[in-house]
Amino acid sequence: MSPVHVDGLPIEVRTKVLKQIGEVPPPVETSTASDITATGDFKLFSDRLTKTGLSLPAGLSQSEWTAIGENLRTIESRSIQWWIGDWLNYGEKEYGDKYTKALEVSGYEYKSLANMKSVAKAMESSLRRENLSWSHHKEVASLPEDEQKRLLDRAEKDGLTVRDLRDIVQQRSGKRPATPSQPPIPSDRDSDIVLIPCGRNDPRYVEIRDRHYIPNHGTIGRQAHFLIQFKGEVVGIISGASPVYATKPRDEFFGIVGREMRDRVLNGIVNNSVFRLEITERNLATRVLRMWRELIPHFWYERYGTIVYGFETFVVETDSRVGTLYKADGWTSAGVTAGAAKVRSGIDKPADNWKDVEPKLVLCKWRDGFSAPCSASTPAWVRNVSVGVADGSETPEQWEKDKHTRRAGREYFATGGNDPLRLDEAA
Render 141-176 in DSSP notation, one character per residue: TTS-HHHHHHHHHHHHHHT--HHHHHHHHHHHHTSS
Q: Are residues 159 and 192 in the same domain?
A: no
183 assigned to some structural domain: no
Choosing from 79, 107, 122, the residue where a domain stops is 122
Structure confidence by residue, pLDDT tens digits, 245-294: 889 999 999 999 988 898 888 999 999 999 999 998 888 999 999 999 99
Query: Which pLDDT band, with edges at 50, 70 and 90, does 169 fall under?
Result: confident
Q: Are residues 346 and 207 in the same domain?
A: yes
Q: Are residues 399 and 255 in the same domain?
A: yes
Of the candidates 367, 354, 249, the residue with the CA atom closest to the CA atom of residue 300: 367
pLDDT at position 15, please?
52
pLDDT at position 161, please?
86
Q: How many domains, in total, are found in the chain?
A: 3
158 assigned to some structural domain: yes
Inter-residue contact 229 to 235 (CB < 8 Å): yes
User: Which of left, alpha, beta for 307 (phi over 0: left; psi -120 to 50: alpha)?
Assistant: beta
Query: Which pLDDT band, with edges at 50, 70 and 90, does 106 fall under?
Result: confident
Other C-beta atoms lying within 10 Å of the C-beta of residue 34 = 9
Q: SS3 of 200, please?
A: coil
Q: Are residues 53 and 199 in the same domain?
A: no
**CATH number of the domain to which 241 belongs:** 3.40.630.30
77 assigned to some structural domain: yes
Domain that holds residue 130: 126-176
Q: Are residues 265 and 325 in the same domain?
A: yes
Cβ contacts of residue 157 below 8 Å, gap of 6+? Answer: none
Q: Per-residue DSSP letters for 278-299? A: SS--TTHHHHHHHHHHHHHHHH
Q: SS3 of 274, please?
A: strand
Structure confidence by residue, pLDDT tens digits, 25-34: 333 333 333 3
Distance CA 91, CA 95 (A): 6
Choosing from 86, 102, 122, the residue where a domain stops is 122
407 assigned to some structural domain: yes
181 assigned to some structural domain: no
Choosing from 122, 145, 160, the residue where a domain stops is 122
Inter-residue contact 228 to 237 (CB < 8 Å): yes
Q: Are residues 238 and 148 in the same domain?
A: no
182 assigned to some structural domain: no
Structure confidence by residue, pLDDT tens digits, 372-404: 887 655 434 333 433 333 344 444 454 444 444
pLDDT greater than 90 at residue 241 = yes
Q: Mean pLDDT, the chain, as a whole number?
A: 74
pTM summary value: 0.47
Q: Are residues 116 and 192 in the same domain?
A: no
Q: Are residues 197 and 277 in the same domain?
A: yes
Q: Are residues 221 and 72 in the same domain?
A: no
Inter-residue contact 289 to 258 (CB < 8 Å): no
Distance CA 65, CA 48 (A): 13
Q: Are residues 344 and 403 in the same domain?
A: yes
Query: Which pLDDT band, with edges at 50, 70 and 90, does 340 fall under?
Result: low
Query: Over the range 112-125, which residues count as b (16 or more CB within 10 Å of their CB) and which as e?
Result: ebbbbbbbbebbee
Distance CA 357, CA 317 (A): 13
pLDDT at position 134, please?
93
Distances, alpha carbon 403 to alpha carbons 103, 140, 293, in Å: 42, 30, 26
**Average pLDDT value for residue range 133-147:** 92
Lowest mean pLDDT, pick from 140-149, 272-281, 345-354:
345-354
Distance CA 266, CA 274 (A): 19
Q: Are residues 204 and 136 in the same domain?
A: no
Query: Which pLDDT band, with edges at 50, 70 and 90, does 175 fall under?
Result: low
Query: Over the range 178-214, which residues count as b (16 or more CB within 10 Å of their CB) and which as e?
Result: bbbbbbbebeeebeebbbbbbbbebeebeebbeeeee
Q: 361-366 and 269-277: which strand pairing?
A: unpaired
Distance CA 128, CA 124 (A): 7
Q: SS3 of 127, please?
A: helix
Q: Are residues 361 and 236 in the same domain?
A: yes
